[in-house]
Structure 1
Amino acid sequence: MTSPIIHRVTTLDLAVRPIVWPFAEEWRDEIAAHFAEKQRERPKIWNGRVLLGRDPVFADGCFAATYFETDFASFLAWRDWGFPGPAVFNGFGMGALRSADGAFVMGEMAPHTANAGRIYFPSGTPDLDDVRGDTLDIPGSVVRELEEETGLTAADFRAEPDWHCIVSGPAIAMMQVLNLDMSGEEARARIEANLASEDEPELSAIHLVRGMSDLRPTMPRFVTAFVEQQFASR
């Protein structure tokens, strides 16, 4: 497997356009059957609208791409079937939470979610709530997902200006380091208290990563590649 490539950029230029995705059209019946099977396994997943990307370009400190709308069922089938068809990527924002004492704070996805058991920073596949006019607002998506998953808000962190774009196969994770004004243990306690107040939280556990020994096989490669780079630069 090709190692992830990390691009550090200052600008995101992500246009949203009405593009027909041949994969979703040509495999519609098979996609519907696949999603029905997944819903039997995890009844809480739903077929909302999401955004996928194409034509990624990194140049002069900018990441540019074009996004288009599709349904979650098509995205899930595309992912589960090994990303078939012409080049499309799943490009999403991630808030790389870093505590005041240097720990990275990650969440473990709950059993009812499509990524059950996976451990990573707060994030989500972009959807229509993240569109502003004809542009995809990844910074806004990061803040929204962070609050939805953890209860933390923009008042709890200082966002660094650069974006670390980790290209790992058909995934591009746009990570922004969010420096918390609290220790790792305090952050975990805050988030756990918020999770306990919810009827069906997206996260089932909070993990603190203070060194390489804290990395787990259930963390996506783009997450571990980013953390490894961060620890190497200290």
Structure 2
Amino acid sequence: MEPRFAEVDRLDCRLVSHRWTFAEEEAARIDAHWATRLARTPSMYDGPVLLARKAALEAESGARVLRVEAFETRFSRFLAWRDFGWPDASVYNFFAMPALRSSDGAWLVGEMGQAHSAAGQRYFPGGTPDPGDVTETGEVDLYGSLARELAEETGLPAREGVAAQGWTVIFDRQRVACLRRIDWPAPAAAIRERVRRFLDAEAEPELAAVHMLASGRHDDPRLPAFMTAFLARAAETG
């Protein structure tokens, strides 16, 4: 199935209570899988993360909105669900990422380090939302999550760029990637060097490397489908 695009004006994501049947019924299998993965990557932490039981496009007062109902689970449950091939299709892995574009037209892409659950994969800086992204009113602050992940992974403060007004949402099987374009006032070489210096100074950097990719088609198995689709579409839309 090809990734599907939607341009939306805003995201409305809220935390709800949800009983995840998959996590309960497959608990023993999930725990065994976690033990195996943890032996391979001991630095992984079974902390709380947010998945979605609903991710739907809706119209509201002339605006296009992505409405998300998020619920809390443990990372080991999310990881097993992902590694088992998303057996519960009623649940979605949703996340926000900055599509950071240099002044000369390249896109900032990070390569996950060996301590990451997706080691070697390449995509925009980002991560699965967690309870720390939930406000006092129960809203999940996805732009805040995006800015935090960008700073943690690359050292770049989102405020230095110019963010687009809306979001590009990509539905890629059970992934719902919420991308916000950020135009950066520096060329690709300068951005790459700045991030490289940040990674060199980190005791345990999240990224193994940083790349500046041109728009167009990329036959790289390390890029998830939503990333290859975005880069190909960017070549057409500018």
Alignment of 1:33 onto 2:36: no
Change (3 A) 1:197 1:18: same
The CA distance in 2 between the partners of 1:86 and 1:119, in whole Å, is 24
TM-score (norm 2): 0.95
1:105-158: CA deviations, max 9, x gaps?
Answer: 101000111010000000100111111131111000000000000000023211
SS in structure 1 of the partner of residue 51 of structure 2: strand
Alpha-carbon distance in structure 1 between the residues aligned to 2:162 and 2:152? 18
Q: Which runs of 5+ in 1 are unaligned?
A: none
Whether 1:225 aligns to 2:229 is: yes
Q: CA deviation at 1:95?
A: 0.6
- For the residues of structure 2 that align with 1:85 and 1:212, how far apart are their CA atoms? 33
**Which blocks of at least 5 consecutive residues in structure 2 are unaligned?**
none
Note the C-alpha offset of 1:215.
5.3
Given the alignment of the two structures, is residue 104 of structure 1 paired with residue 107 of structure 2, yes or no? yes
Letter in 1 for 2:119: A
Offset at residue 33 of structure 1 (A): 1.2
Q: What is the SS of the residue equivalent to 2:176?
A: strand
Distance of 1:119 and 1:151 partners within structure 2: 17
Offset, 1:4:
0.5
Amino acid at match of 2:48: R
Give 1:185 shift: 0.6
TM-score normalised by L of structure 1: 0.96
Q: Take 1:186 and 1:225, find their aligned partners in 2: how far apart are those partners?
A: 26
CA distance in 2, matches of 1:181, 1:192: 18
CA RMSD across the alignment: 1.1
Q: In structure 1, what is the equivalent of residue 133 of structure 2?
A: 130
| Equivalent in the alignment of 1:56 | 55
* Shift in Å, 1:214: 5.2
Alpha-carbon deviation of 1:85? 2.6
CA distance in 1, matches of 2:128, 2:215: 27
| 1:84 alignment partner, one of 84, 87, 102 | 87
Contact 1:209–1:215 under 8 Å retained in 2: no
Displacement of 1:211 after TM fit? 3.7
Q: What are the superposed Cα offsets for residues 58-90 of structure 1, whole Å, 9 maximum, x if unpaired?
A: 122100021000000000000011111351000
**What's the CA shift for 1:212?**
2.5
Q: CA–CA distance in 2 between the matches of 1:35 and 1:25? A: 15
Partner SS state of residue 226, structure 1: helix
Q: Is the 8 A contact 1:160 1:178 kept in 2?
A: yes
1:1-234 paired onto structure 2 within 5 Å: 2-60=1-59, 61-133=64-136, 134-212=138-216, 216-234=220-238
Structure 1 residues 13 and 191 mapped into 2: Cα distance closer, same or farther (>3 Å)? same
Retained in 2: the 8 A contact 1:119–1:220?
yes
Identity fraction in percent: 38
Tell me: CA distance 1:57–1:123, structure 2 relative to 1, closer, same or farther (3 Å): same
Q: How many matched pairs?
A: 233
Q: Which amino acid aligns with 1:50?
A: V
Give the C-alpha shift of residue 217 in structure 1.
Answer: 1.9
